[in-house]
Amino acid sequence: MLPAISRQARRGYRVLALESSCDDSCVALLEKLAPHARPRVVDHYKLTLSLAAAGGIIPTAAQVFHNYTIGNLVDKMATDYGFDQRPPDLICVTKGPGMAGSLTASLQLAKGLALAWRVPLVGVHHMLGHLLTPQLDVDVKYPFLSLLCSGGHTMLVYSQSVGHHEVIINTMDIAVGDSLDKCAREIGFYGNQLAREMEKYVRDHPWPTNDGNAPIDLASNLPMKGPKYPRFPPVIEFSFASFLLRVKTTLKNHQDPITEHQRQYIAHHIQSMVFDHIIDRINVALMKHGTNKKLCPTADGKFARVNDIVCSGGVAANKLLRHKLSHNLQFTHTIGHEPTFHFPPLDLCTDNAIMIGLAGIEQFEQLRVMSDMLAVARPKWPLNELMDEPWVPVDDATYDKVTQFKL
Ligand code: AMP
Ligand code: ZN
């Protein structure tokens, strides 16, 4: 832990960030020490709601959880870092998307803090946080692609600038983490983050690659692939509910409890197929937006200048997914070069307040937008509508007051 107020911390400005859009209550303190320096993480506190007993997120339970936790986390941060002597200079809070009650728990507290300390408030887009996360350590140059895959979202995003993002692929039903968690539950896993448990299980019980004998029937086709589907649909989508359905169907058709051997087979194959589906859809997008007209006559070249791809969200921690992304995406054939992959460390891949502070600083400094006391949670907020908000412009006086890089 840093000393409460060091000489170092007096320079630049400090940002308090709050995040509670789903099942994590998080508070971060960041500081920016010079105009072109990357923000530095001072500390981060996180508490996660246990989903084991309920088997999933119950929105009202999540809201109560955040109402209990978020204030205490801020209180601890205030004590540890001397807010009574030097309050933060900027408050950033997730405004959306997410669950209304959960978002509101932090947003209302953030409004109160901004009022009490007379400092600006920035309502942050949660997904912007995810896709800017690698910028904490490296420069990711625009335009870049982000694959965000977690318990609540699965999307491929094309970002041209801080304020300009296009969702290229979204899920038509549930998110990849949600689907894998539920598939794991169906075959007998219990606890939290079941997709992560299933990954461990599959690693500890590897299925022999040359074993062609299926011990149980499990459909193996990938969604939206095959002769009856257009090769280049006008809208490219992921679908993960179908994987859960096929596991349920397999178990229903099989009257007896499954054996360990069968569980091993299902766990291995379902994980692998889900990731193959992600790869398959991204490859379609690469063809559609690449430069190779032989592969796709209507290729529009949109991705030609993409040199970086960010992979974030809890599921992006999965080693098999990382391997498949690094080896099975067809960049060279479609855009003519291999971009650099960025996999943030796991604690930054999952929901956290550090990314909210980071994105809030970008919204404040680059987009020059902030929120006021009229700000309300926006549970549904497509990333391509980032600027379509009743933003308050950051005037020069406010900007200078926050970003005082004094020695
Ligand atoms: P997030 O929504 O970003 O907080 O991530 C949580 C989701 O990521 C849950 O569905 C987890 O089961 C899933 N997850 C976490 N670690 C892994 C892993 N190693 N492999 C697959 N899924 C994972
Ligand atoms: Zn998230």
Q: What is the pLDDT of the chain when averaged over all its residues? A: 92
Q: How confident is the model at residue 309 (pLDDT cuts 50, 70, 90)?
A: very high
How open is the CA angle 275-56-200, to the nearest 5 degrees? Answer: 45
Q: How much of the chain, in percent, has pLDDT values that exceed 70?
A: 94
- Supply the DSSP string of 350-402, one letter for each residue: SS-SHHHHHHHHHHHHTS-EEB-TT----SS--GGGTT-S-PEE--HHHHHHH
Cα distances from 284 to residues 69, 288, 329, in angstroms, run 43, 6, 10
Sign of CA dihedral 163, 169, 174, 177: negative
In angstroms, rounded to a whole number, what is the distance separating the alpha carbons of residues 29 and 6?
14
For 139-187, write each residue's pLDDT tens digit: 999 999 999 998 889 999 999 999 999 999 999 999 999 999 999 999 9
Compare 8 and 171 and report the one with higher pLDDT.
171
Q: What is the pLDDT of residue 23?
A: 84
State the closest ligand 1 atom to the C-alpha of 349, by its place in the atom list counted from 1.
3
Global confidence as pTM = 0.92
Q: How confident is the model at residue 2 (pLDDT cuts 50, 70, 90)?
A: very low
Compare 276 and 23 and report the one with higher pLDDT.
276
Site to substitute for ligand 1 among 150, 183, 275, 352, most atoms within 8 A of C-beta: 150
Q: Which ligand ends up closest to the CA of 57?
A: 1
For 113-135, write each residue's pLDDT tens digit: 999 999 999 999 999 999 999 99
**Ligand 2 centroid, distance to 274 Cα (angstroms):** 19
For the record, the structure tokens of 400 come out as 């200078």
Contact 17, 40 (CB under 8 A): no
Q: What is the pLDDT of residue 55?
A: 65
Does residue 407 carry a pLDDT above 50?
Answer: no
State the closest ligand 1 atom to the C-alpha of 175, by its place in the atom list counted from 1.
10
Pairing of strands 90-96, 121-125: parallel
- The answer to whether the CB of 151 is under 6 A from ligand 1 is yes
**Ligand 2 centroid, distance to 124 Cα (angstroms):** 12
For 11-42, write each residue's pLDDT tens digit: 689 999 999 998 899 999 999 988 888 999 99
- The answer to whether the CB of 28 is under 6 A from ligand 1 is no
In angstroms, rounded to a whole number, what is the distance separating the alpha carbons of residues 23 and 60?
11
Cα distances from 7 to residues 2, 3, 78, 401, in angstroms, run 11, 10, 18, 19
State the closest ligand 1 atom to the C-alpha of 153, by its place in the atom list counted from 1.
2
Closest C-alpha to 237, from 155, 322, 315? 155
Query: Residue 6: which residues within 8 A CB-CB, separation 6 or more?
Result: none
- The answer to whether the CB of 250 is under 6 A from ligand 1 is no
